[in-house]
């Protein structure tokens, strides 16, 4: 319809009509582009809001996992401290009370620091959807944080594996105590060992002390990353609140 009017105006040399039709066409194209851009902008903001809410929930879960891991290794340390105190004081009953630490002190807890939503954003090339530059940089640092954490945990596991093997050679487990694991049936007698032989084995005790030191390194590891992850989570929360999402 516009084309026919434009053709007719040119034939009659009605240049005002020609210009007017061109203006109408160009205005329509510009308005169309603006509407498309507006719709795309609204859709992008909606995706950003959804990602931010997922990130807040998943970062909260990461901090909870870090808390749980630290609680576990603190429990291992408390057991082995009780065991070593019994050995040092010649109190076989006290050493037996902390004997579960012999089994647990070489454990390495694993926590994944990288939220699924962040992996999804990075793989889809949508990290730039986060408009806050500071927050975007903080989120971008998490994959490297996870890589460093994993390398550290793998090194700890490598250091502790031979110690775990050596310690295991000095105790026997009463499997009946742990058969019904849903009931948490192990007791202070689940791990059996020769108190005299263990308490006089200086090399073994040095290795157990080294494992206890690695346990404390793990505790510091989890506390450090919890602080960093929690700081990023607070940035996400502040962004959600300031943007009204």
Look at residue 140 and tell me if it is in a domain: yes
Look at residue 4 and tell me if it is in a domain: no
Structure tokens at 69: 């891991």
Look at residue 6 and tell me if it is in a domain: no
Look at residue 47 and tell me if it is in a domain: yes
Look at residue 5 and tell me if it is in a domain: no
Domain that holds residue 63: 12-243
Chain mean pLDDT for the chain: 87
Give the tens place of pLDDT for each residue, 5-45: 656 655 665 555 555 556 666 766 666 667 665 656 566 78
Give the tens place of pLDDT for each residue, 149-186: 999 999 999 999 999 999 999 998 887 776 666 666 66
Structure tokens at 201: 């084995």
Look at residue 2 and tell me if it is in a domain: no
Look at residue 101 and tell me if it is in a domain: yes
Give the tens place of pLDDT for each residue, 182-214: 666 667 788 899 999 999 999 999 999 999 999
Tokens 């040095």 sit at which residue?
206
Structure tokens at 194: 């020769």
The answer to whether 111 and 65 are in contact (CB under 8 A) is yes
Q: Into how many domains does the chain fold?
A: 1
Q: What is the pTM of this model?
A: 0.80
């Amino acid at each position: 319809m516009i084309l026919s009017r434009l053709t007719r105006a040119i034939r009659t040399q009605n240049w005002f009509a020609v210009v007017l039709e061109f203006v109408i066409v160009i205005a329509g194209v510009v308005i169309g582009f603006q509407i498309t851009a507006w719709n795309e902008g609204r859709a992008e903001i909606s995706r950003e809001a959804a990602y931010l809410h997922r990130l807040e929930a998943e970062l909260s879960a990461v901090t909870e996992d870090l808390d749980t891991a630290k609680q576990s290794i603190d429990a291992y340390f408390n057991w082995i401290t009780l065991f070593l105190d019994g050995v040092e004081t010649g109190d076989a009953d006290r050493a037996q009370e902390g004997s579960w630490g012999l089994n647990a002190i070489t454990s390495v807890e694993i926590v994944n620091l990288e939220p699924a939503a962040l992996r999804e954003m990075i793989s889809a090339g949508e990290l730039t959807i986060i408009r806050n530059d500071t927050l975007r940089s903080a989120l971008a640092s998490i994959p490297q944080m996870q890589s460093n954490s994993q390398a550290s945990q793998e090194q700890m596991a490598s250091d502790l594996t031979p110690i775990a093997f050596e310690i295991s050679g000095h105790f026997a487990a009463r499997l009946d105590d742990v058969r019904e694991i849903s009931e948490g049936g192990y007791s202070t007698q689940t791990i059996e060992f020769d108190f005299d032989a263990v308490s006089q084995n200086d090399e073994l005790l040095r290795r157990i002390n080294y494992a206890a030191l690695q346990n404390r390194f793990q505790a510091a590891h989890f506390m450090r990353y919890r602080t960093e992850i929690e700081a990023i989570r607070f940035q996400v929360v502040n962004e959600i609140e300031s943007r009204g999402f």
